[in-house]
């Protein structure tokens, strides 16, 4: 075994990328740039692979390590922004809740 130089892995179907008319490596650059902007300490590896199984006409088939463990393939909209794609691929990534000032206790001094 060897140590991996990345913390997140995304597999993207190369046939889907080609079918959508995207350039090879364009999805990789967009996803890596978005994740690096959000959390610079995490390293993302995006690999274009052969067919992942489902062949959607208007979507990109992608998989993460977590989705493969659940035996699921993500179908991404090629028109989606990189932020929307990262949110779809990593639903538990980052803080989801926020405190509003209306919920905060008030102190009268």
Domain map (residue ranges) of the chain: 8-89
What pLDDT, on a 0 to 100 scale, did the predictor assign at position 42? 79
The three-class DSSP label of residue 50 is: coil
What pLDDT, on a 0 to 100 scale, did the predictor assign at position 73? 92
Per-residue pLDDT of the chain (109 residues; tens, 9 = 90+): 898 888 888 899 999 888 888 888 888 888 888 888 887 887 888 899 999 888 888 889 999 888 899 999 999 888 888 888 888 888 765 555 555 555 555 565 5
What pLDDT, on a 0 to 100 scale, did the predictor assign at position 26? 86
Helices (H), the chain: 14-19, 26-38, 65-69, 82-89
What pLDDT, on a 0 to 100 scale, did the predictor assign at position 108? 59
What pLDDT, on a 0 to 100 scale, did the predictor assign at position 44? 83
Q: To 5 degrees, how large is the angle CA 52–CA 20–CA 66?
A: 35
Note every long-range contact of 17-24, with CB atoms under 8 Å and residues 24 or more positions apart, other chains counting. 17/48, 17/60, 19/57, 20/58, 20/60, 20/78, 22/78, 24/48
What pLDDT, on a 0 to 100 scale, did the predictor assign at position 86? 85
């Amino acid at each position: 075994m060897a140590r991996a130089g990345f913390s997140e892995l995304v597999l993207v179907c190369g046939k889907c990328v080609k079918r959508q008319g995207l350039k090879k490596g364009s999805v990789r650059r967009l996803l890596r740039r978005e994740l690096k902007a959000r959390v610079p300490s995490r390293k993302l590896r995006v690999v274009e692979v052969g067919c992942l199984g489902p062949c959607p006409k208007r979507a990109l088939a992608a998989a993460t390590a977590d989705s493969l463990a659940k035996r699921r393939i993500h179908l991404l909209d090629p028109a989606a922004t990189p932020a929307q794609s990262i949110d779809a691929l990593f639903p538990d990534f980052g803080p989801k809740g926020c405190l509003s000032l209306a919920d905060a206790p008030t102190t009268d001094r």
